[in-house]
Amino acid sequence: MRFNRNDLGYDRIATFDIETTHWDASQGEVVSIGLAVHERGTPLSNAEYKLLHRKPALDEAALIREAYTWLDEIDAGYLVSFNGRDFDFPFCDERLEHLGASIDHPKLHTPQSHLDLLHDDRKALANQRGEKWPSLEEVLVAYGESPEPLMWKGEPLDNTRFGKELGPALLNSVANNDQVTAEKLMTTVEEYLRDDLKKNLRMYYYDIGELEPPVPAND
C-alpha cells in the first residue's frame, strides 16, 4: 500500500523498533530494541544504529530507559515507526508498569513528532477499503521491492518465530550466563532489527518522495 504524504522538512529522522517474546505484554517481555537516526541528504548506509539487548547488567526496565535516553540525546527532529503507536510504545509502557518502573516517554513520542507509518493512515485506508492491514514487507512490495526474509535455522524468521523461539533462546542464554550462545543469537537479532529499521526509513522516504521506488506507480 503506497501513501503520498507531505514532506515536513525534518533533516534528522529517527526510527524505533522492539522485539518481544509475545504480542501481549502480560504474557511476554522486551528482548531487544533497535534504534537508528539518519541525516537526510546522505546515503541511507550512513544511518547510525543503536541495537540494545537484554544482558545481566541490563534488565528489561533499564533496556527500555536506555533506548528512550538515546532517542532524547540524538537531536533528531522526527521519529518514524511501523505500528509503534499501537504496539511498541504501549508494550513498553505496560512492561514498565509491570516492573514498577516510571514511564517517561522520549520527547519525540508526541502526535506532532512521531509518525506511525501504519497506524496514522494505512490502517484507516485499509479499513475503508475492507482490506487487512498491510505488513511492513507488503508495503515495500507495493513500492516494487522484493524483500528477502532472514533465514534462521533453515527457515524464515518472522515475529512469531522470534517470540516463540529466538527471543526465549536469547533470554535463556543470558540468564544462564552462556555468553557464547548469547553472542551468536544477538548477531541474528541485530540483523533482524537492523533490517526492519532500514525498511522503516525507506518506507518513509518513499512516502514523501525522497527515494525513487524500484517500480513507478501505475497511472
pLDDT digits (tens, 9 = 90+) for 139-189: 999 999 998 889 999 999 999 999 999 999 999 999 999 999 999 999 999
CA distance 40 to 175: 40
Is position 2 within any domain?
A: no
Is position 176 within any domain?
A: yes
Q: How does pLDDT run across 186-201, given as a tens digit for each residue?
A: 999 999 999 999 999 9
Give the domain CATH number at 154. 3.30.420.10
Is position 84 within any domain?
A: yes
Pure H helices in the chain:
60-73, 89-98, 122-129, 136-142, 159-161, 167-175, 179-208
- What is the Rg, in whole angstroms, of the alpha carbon atoms belonging to the chain? 17
Is position 5 within any domain?
A: no
Is position 216 within any domain?
A: no
Could you tell me the residue range of the domain that residue 155 belongs to?
12-207
Of 88, 90, 98, 76, nearest in space to 32 by CA: 88
- Number of domains, the chain: 1
* 139-142-19 Cα angle (round to 5): 20
CA distance 208 to 9: 10
Is 202 within 8 Å of 44 (Cβ atoms)? yes
Is position 7 within any domain?
A: no
pLDDT at 219 exceeding the cut of 60: no
